[in-house]
Amino acid sequence: MTPESVIIIGQQALVVTAMLSAPLLLAALGAGLIIGMFQAATQINEVTLSFIPKLLVLAAALYLGGGWMLKVIVGYSESLIRSIPSLIG
């Protein structure tokens, strides 16, 4: 196993991690922005008000994108497992 192969595997892992986390982070960001604008407009400064809508948005994003996320992680895992023999010897 060469240092180059370790770096390539690490880069692929970071790309897959970013691909899997980006939809959920963007959904939470969008929900937080909308809720923050609503709170600023109505002057309701309740911290717990933003929790339930963000949770619902994240659940919806996970429901809608969960199949794609599962395909990505399974594909990466399969390619990593298949490359074990070439990495060892």
pLDDT digits (tens, 9 = 90+) for 16-39: 999 999 999 999 999 999 999 998
pTM of the predicted protein model: 0.79
pLDDT given at position 50: 83
Of 48, 17, 53, 18, nearest to 33 by C-alpha is 53
Residue-wise pLDDT tens digits, 61-80? 999 999 999 999 999 999 99
Mean pLDDT of the chain: 92
Q: Are 35 and 49 within 8 A, CB to CB?
A: yes
- The values of phi and psi at residue 46, to 5°, are -95, 125
Estimate to the nearest angstrom the gap between the alpha carbon of 60 and the chain centroid.
Answer: 14
